[in-house]
Structure 1
Amino acid sequence: MSLNPANYSRISFPLFGIEIDPIRYFTIGPLTIHMYGLVIAFGLLLAGVYCSRRSKRAGLTEDDILDGILWITPFAVICARVYYCVFSWSEYAADPISVLYIWNGGLAIYGAVMGAFLGVAVYCRVKKCSLPALLDLVVMGFLIGQFVGRWGNFFNREAFGAPTQAFSRMGLFNTVTGQWEFYHPTFLYESLWNFTGFLILHFLYPRRAYDGQIALGYCAWYGLGRAIIEGLRMDSLYWGSFRVSQVLGAVGCVAAVAALTVLHFRPHDRERLAERVCAKAQAEKEEPKE
């Protein structure tokens, strides 16, 4: 394995007295391993393990979850690319075929989330399982993948915010000027926000009143965080004068909170949760026949 010194870029966090030189990629023989891809893959692995271990909550088996990942991942990647290219078309207009050059970067997390939701819907249609119940489980995987995956932006020195001298600032060393420049580490803000959301929903999961409640909680939590944090970023995708992800985050949050509020005042029978229905059906199958 070899490391290319040219890929070292100094990054500091003055609040913690940290200064490091993260690399963007390394090579193993003819292979070039990008840290961004490695981090994303690790996040996907953790999300898969978490969801597999809790497959019964959606009335499924571990094999069902692994099959689902194979279904959902292509939808997520394709939609993440389409979302980015649609709102960054000026980068590809002169050479449209470059839209296919996904290895050059250009993925949008909101596109991935929407693609994953679409993949889950298709999978549930094929498997004839409960969409709300599976979404409750899948969004937990989203949060894991998102709070881990944001660190891929750290290695790429991207997804940071406007210049600031706030206590939370991140320093990037400018090799041209030889000076430190300080910015909002928005990738870190979002990673911590998603981690907090994961912890909250993880402990609320067993107490849910109906299938789909956790998925709505995710939409509300993630949407709120994205609407706030996106306003600090310098690399937002725009539709006219609007930051696309900020608008989607705000709309998603308001819609989810409205749905949660309405459903809160409706009666729910927890025995109708997919988890309990499937457990009851399984128990009846295993009962000895007289």
Structure 2
Amino acid sequence: MLPASIPSPPQGVWYLGPFPVRAYALAIMAGIVIAVWMTSRRWVARGGEAETVLDISFWAVPFGIVGGRLYHVVSSPDAYFGPDGEPIRALYVWEGGLGIWGAIALGAVGAWIGVRRAGVRFSTFADAAAPG
């Protein structure tokens, strides 16, 4: 039996003039947009304001991206700090390398900061954010 999957696009990068647009970046952006949209719908259904979700996402998303990169760098240290490694390349996010566990962990920290600033309970917001 074959596992269900979505195949990778035949081309990983497209160019808009001099700017590369990578399939991986498009997938991440689509995931962020869908997550914010779903959370907003569920938050409003619980009596919250849609703007609150946007305010919180402005904290959660950047924290998640930084966390994903940090996790990748820490879990693949030889590429950056090994014998032939170049530490400056840890900052080269355009070369790829994000770890989902770091994104989830630091994204949750960012969401926690956002909910504190918005004056809502983290558990209530997390319930709206978690699908299902």
2:76 paired with 1:54: no
Report the Cα distance in structure 2 between the residues aligned to 1:84 and 1:20, rounded to whole angstroms.
21
Per residue, is there more strand in 1 or in 2?
1
Give the CA deviation at 1:57: 4.8
* TM-score, normalising length: structure 1: 0.40
Show CA shifts across 1:158-209 (max 9, x none).
Answer: xxxxxxxxxxxxxxxxxxxxxxxxxxxxxxxxxxxxxxxxxxx2xxxxxxxx
Name which of 92, 98, 123 aligns with 2:89: 98
Report the Cα distance in structure 2 between the residues aligned to 1:53 and 1:60, rounded to whole angstroms.
9
What residue number does 2:124 align with? Answer: 133
Show CA shifts across 1:207-264 (max 9, x none).
Answer: xxxxxxxxxxxxxxxxxxxxxxxxxxxxxxxxxxxxxxxxxxxxxxxxxxxxxxxxxx
* TM-score, normalising length: structure 2: 0.84
Q: Secondary structure at the match of 1:134?
A: helix
What residue number does 1:111 align with? Answer: 102
Report the Cα distance in structure 1 between the residues aligned to 2:53 and 2:15, rounded to whole angstroms.
33
Task: Name the amino acid aligned to 1:56.
Answer: V
Label 1:58 to 1:99 Cα distance change in 2 as closer, same or farther (>3 A).
Answer: farther
Which of the pair has the greater relative contact order for Cα pairs under 8 Å at 6+ separation?
2
Report the Cα distance in structure 1 between the residues aligned to 2:79 and 2:9, rounded to whole angstroms.
30
**What are the within-5 Å matches in structure 2 for residues 199-238 of structure 1?**
201=132
Label 1:48 to 1:111 Cα distance change in 2 as closer, same or farther (>3 A).
Answer: same
What residue number does 2:19 align with? Answer: 31
Give the CA deviation at 1:107: 0.3
**What are the within-5 Å matches in structure 2 for residues 109-258 of structure 1?**
109-140=100-131, 201=132
Label 1:29 to 1:37 Cα distance change in 2 as closer, same or farther (>3 A).
Answer: same
Report the Cα distance in structure 2 between the residues aligned to 1:59 and 1:102, rounded to whole angstroms.
38
Q: Secondary structure at the match of 1:47?
A: helix
Report the Cα distance in structure 1 between the residues aligned to 2:40 and 2:79, rounded to whole angstroms.
39
Q: Secondary structure at the match of 2:14?
A: strand
Q: Percent identity?
A: 29
Give the CA deviation at 1:52: 1.4
Size of the aligned set, in residue pairs, is 126
Name which of 49, 63, 81 aligns with 2:69: 81
Q: Which runs of 5+ in 1 are unaligned?
A: 1-13, 141-200, 202-290
Give the CA deviation at 1:20: 8.8
Report the Cα distance in structure 2 between the residues aligned to 1:31 and 1:44, rounded to whole angstroms.
21
Report the Cα distance in structure 1 between the residues aligned to 2:8 and 2:95, rounded to whole angstroms.
25
Label 1:61 to 1:52 Cα distance change in 2 as closer, same or farther (>3 A).
Answer: same
Q: Secondary structure at the match of 1:38?
A: helix
